[in-house]
Amino acid sequence: MKMGLYKIKPVFKEMIWGGSRLNEKFGFDTPSKTTGEAWVVSAHPDGDGILLNGEFEGQRLSDVYREHRGLFGKGENTKFPLMVKIIDANQDLSVQVHPDDEYGRKFENSYGKTEAWYVLDCEEDTRMIIGHTASETQELLNAIQTGTLEKYLNSFKINPGDFYYIPARTIHAICAGSLVYEVQQNSNVTYRVYDYNRKDAQGKNRDLHIRQALEVTQVPHRSVAPRPLTVTSQGMSVTTYLDEDYFALSKVVVQGSGSYLLRGEFSLIGVLEGEAKINGVQFKLGDHAITTHDEKTLEIVGDCVVMVSIPREVLL
């Protein structure tokens, strides 16, 4: 008998800007105190998660999705559509941009990368960068070449619980002091625009990708501001932050028990506060899983916060 919910072993990435909060907050067995990312749901070649339960225990998520595509509903694309990360920015990440699907397929053999951020925690006065004020690409290039890019960047303070949507082609940066939950297309293509003249472990500046960045960056920048919608019923509150072309993202807050209807082909779920039993499977803080197409509801028991991501048809 096949299960309908499969937990996934996270993949950890050490980064020059990483910290220790993935271990401290979630209890993850991180490799060092400069661990920047936990890829909590990933089927990417750079970090392919292992299933932890059921008949596919010990197998890679990419293999299960490709070889048992029918379990995940309609669609013929055998490449897993999304990736979910938890990011610990102990220092500023580079100012960067990601390509859209057209550019990614043509030059990188990859999806583009549209993403969304939910701020789990941040220090006082922590900032983020989304977008720029340049009106022409040449103006942006001049700012990069003269070392004045920072004055063109849209920088603002953030708070825990904030949500941001970053379409492909948007210049952005997660900044020091933030702990962020990120849902994105299944891509690892990043073009660095500016890296604060930082040195790596070998004392060298990290590579920049100015040509590619200028080719893909949206100029002028156009802001996109989602409008979260919260619906509360007995014992459960659901906030839908986003439902667009690539994915939907919702936060489900449960006190005691609740039943959440899944509206999509399959879902990616994770417990970000508390612990829970979901469809009979025990979840501790930080645990993530995928559901199959046959799982139409999440029966949640516990005092917890569960994030639910659902890929949309364009990626299937």
Structure confidence by residue, pLDDT tens digits, 211-247: 999 999 999 999 998 999 999 988 899 999 999 999 9
**Cβ contact 298:278 at 8 Å:** yes
* pLDDT over threshold 60, residue 22: yes
Q: What is the pLDDT of residue 74?
A: 96
Average confidence score pLDDT of the chain: 96
Q: What is the pLDDT of residue 205?
A: 86
Q: Please tell me the total number of residues recorded for the chain in this structure.
A: 316
Residue 251 covered by a domain? yes
Which of 166, 181, 216 represents a domain boundary (last residue)? Answer: 216
Q: What is the pLDDT of residue 306?
A: 98
Q: What is the pLDDT of residue 233?
A: 87
Read off the pLDDT band of 202 (50, 70, 90).
confident
Residue 159 covered by a domain? yes
Residue 148 and residue 93 share a domain: yes
Residue 233 and residue 147 share a domain: no
Residue 167 and residue 246 share a domain: no
Which of 158, 190, 216 represents a domain boundary (last residue)? Answer: 216
Residue 190 and residue 239 share a domain: no
Which of 216, 251, 281 represents a domain boundary (last residue)? Answer: 216
Expressed as residue numbers, the domain containing 266 is 229-315
- CB count, 10 Å around CB of 149? 19
Residue 156 and residue 245 share a domain: no
- Interatomic CA distance for residues 6 and 2, integer angstroms: 10
Residue 223 covered by a domain? no
Residue 266 covered by a domain? yes
- Structural domains of the chain, count: 2
Residue 102 and residue 203 share a domain: yes
End-to-end CA distance of the chain: 25
Q: Which two tokens stand for residue 276?
A: 């829970």
* pLDDT over threshold 70, residue 201: yes
- Interatomic CA distance for residues 250 and 99, integer angstroms: 25
| 38-64 average pLDDT score | 98
Residue 224 covered by a domain? no
Range scoring the smallest mean pLDDT among 33-37, 152-156, 222-226, 306-310? 222-226
pTM: 0.97
Phi then psi for residue 128, to 5 deg, are: -135, 165
* CATH number of the domain within which 26 lies: 2.60.120.10
Phi then psi for residue 82, to 5 deg, are: -125, 165
Residue 140 and residue 188 share a domain: yes
* pLDDT over threshold 60, residue 1: no
Residue 221 covered by a domain? no
Residue 152 and residue 55 share a domain: yes
| 135-156 average pLDDT score | 96
Catalytic residues: 192
Read off the pLDDT band of 2 (50, 70, 90).
low
* pLDDT over threshold 50, residue 170: yes
Residue 222 covered by a domain? no
Residue 99 covered by a domain? yes
Residue 243 and residue 192 share a domain: no
| 88-111 average pLDDT score | 97
Q: What is the pLDDT of residue 140?
A: 97
Residue 258 and residue 149 share a domain: no
- Interatomic CA distance for residues 184 and 302, integer angstroms: 28
Read off the pLDDT band of 264 (50, 70, 90).
very high
Read off the pLDDT band of 3 (50, 70, 90).
confident
Q: What is the pLDDT of residue 274?
A: 98
Residue 287 and residue 197 share a domain: no
- Interatomic CA distance for residues 32 and 51, integer angstroms: 23
**Alpha-carbon 301 to chain mean position:** 25
Residue 200 and residue 264 share a domain: no
Sign of the C-alpha dihedral computed for residues 158, 244, 130 and 93 taken in this order: positive
> Among residues of the chain, what percentage have pLDDT more than 90?
94
Half-sphere exposure of 13 (CA within 13 A, CB side): 20
* pLDDT over threshold 50, residue 93: yes
